[in-house]
Amino acid sequence: MITFGHISSLSLLNKLENHPIELIIPGDCFAYRKPTILSRTDFETLYLRAIELGYHPYIELNGFVMPEELVRLSEYLDWLLKFKPKGFYINDLAVLMSLKEKNFQGELVYCPDTLLTNHYEASVFLKDFKRVQLAKELTLDEYRLITHNLPQKCEMFALGHLIMSVSKRPLLSSYFEYIQDQRSVLNDLNYRLVESKRSDSMPILEEQDTTSIYMDGIFTMFEAIPSLKDDLYGIHLDPLFIPEDAFIDLLDLVLKVEKDGYDEKAFKLIKQRYPSLKWNDGYLNRSTNASKEV
């Protein structure tokens, strides 16, 4: 099983030397969840440093492409292809079509966040993609079933704050504008939402073209890794909103679990080392097929 790390910070990247993982670096445009990669220079610096460290990164373009951006997308892909990426993680199928036109021979992985919820659907996209990244709102049983039907074709999110929504609207700045608060919110990782009747503190990130909201605790699935590793191609670790040292410790634990099996004591030690962090297991053990009584 391959471990993928989503990296958008140079300082974190510098701490990843000699880790047996694959790197995914977001593009500076046509992507979101990349608050520190704001220019081609930012991207280039990060990408070339990854090469220096011995990695052959993938590029993630998880954004939506607007009609007038298709030409710019094509030009941007031409620029990215000069870096000879190992592959692309794609949300908008326009990126797939453009890469096909350019006869890109690397790996293409479809990662639309929510849409791939069964193996029938995944199979459809596997005609055009080498692999798919499954939706995040699946139970462990569903992950097992899908990956068993499509061995070595699926990847899943395994560590980080689970994304819950993505909007094209500038939701934070609109609100602060409404209450006449002139604060800056763009690309700031320190904002949290707390729903009126709940205590969860949910990260919210406003970027240039999107606002995204995430679950409170850090999603982990250490215990589930052993039962999935035969059929699952890879797992994704995302450090967004996680302190760098904690992320490195968690990454090391993931690699240890992959090799030696689940180590509850080691996870407890990490929890003790970072007492302010919260944890959850996402939807692994809770189905979301409830319905309102009417």
How far apart, in whole angstroms, are the C-alpha atoms of residue 67 and residue 78? 18
Hey, what are 60's tokens?
Answer: 């993630």
DSSP 186: B
Segment contacting other proteins by CB under 8 A, of 1-9, 48-56, 157-165, 249-257? 157-165
Nearer to other proteins, 53 or 164 (CB): 164
Site for other proteins in 115-134 (CB under 8 A): 115, 117-121, 123-125, 128
How far apart, in whole angstroms, are the C-alpha atoms of residue 159 and residue 267? 13
Segment contacting other proteins by CB under 8 A, of 59-67, 224-232, 244-252, 253-261? 59-67
Site for other proteins in 186-215 (CB under 8 A): 188, 190-196, 198, 201, 204, 213, 215
Dihedral, CA atoms, 133, 139, 140, 141, nearest 10 degrees?
Answer: -110
Residue 18 interacts with other proteins (CB under 8 A): yes or no:
no
Collect all residues with Cβ–Cβ distance below 8 Å to 278 and sequence separation of at least 6: 201, 216, 217, 218
Residue 96 interacts with other proteins (CB under 8 A): yes or no:
yes
Residue 167 interacts with other proteins (CB under 8 A): yes or no:
yes
Residue 15 interacts with other proteins (CB under 8 A): yes or no:
no
Nearer to other proteins, 1 or 115 (CB): 115
How far apart, in whole angstroms, are the C-alpha atoms of residue 87 and residue 89? 7
Residue 217 interacts with other proteins (CB under 8 A): yes or no:
no
Nearer to other proteins, 236 or 257 (CB): 236
Residue 218 interacts with other proteins (CB under 8 A): yes or no:
no
| Cβ–Cβ under 8 Å, residues 222 and 262 | yes
Q: Which of 28, 60, 113, 206 binds other proteins (CB under 8 A)?
A: 113
Residue 147 interacts with other proteins (CB under 8 A): yes or no:
no
How far apart, in whole angstroms, are the C-alpha atoms of residue 157 and residue 75? 30
Segment contacting other proteins by CB under 8 A, of 20-28, 38-46, 76-84, 140-148? 140-148
The DSSP line for 56-81 is --EEEE-SPPPGGGHHHHHHHHHHHH
Q: Which of 24, 26, 76, 92 binds other proteins (CB under 8 A)?
A: 92
Starting at the edge strand found earlier in the chain, the sheet holding 163-167 runs: 163-167, 211-214, 202-206
Q: Which of 16, 23, 61, 166 binds other proteins (CB under 8 A)?
A: 166
Residue 175 interacts with other proteins (CB under 8 A): yes or no:
yes
Instruction: Encode 236-272 in three state secondary structure.
Output: EECCCCCCHHHHHHHHHHHHHHHHHCCCHHHHHHHHH
Segment contacting other proteins by CB under 8 A, of 38-46, 183-191, 222-230, 245-253? 183-191
Q: Which of 12, 29, 65, 257 binds other proteins (CB under 8 A)?
A: 65
Nearer to other proteins, 117 or 152 (CB): 117
3-class state of residue 38 by DSSP: coil
Q: Name the minimum Å distance from CB 39 to other proteins.
A: 22
| Cβ–Cβ under 8 Å, residues 98 and 108 | no
Residue 97 interacts with other proteins (CB under 8 A): yes or no:
yes
Q: Name the minimum Å distance from CB 219 to other proteins.
A: 11
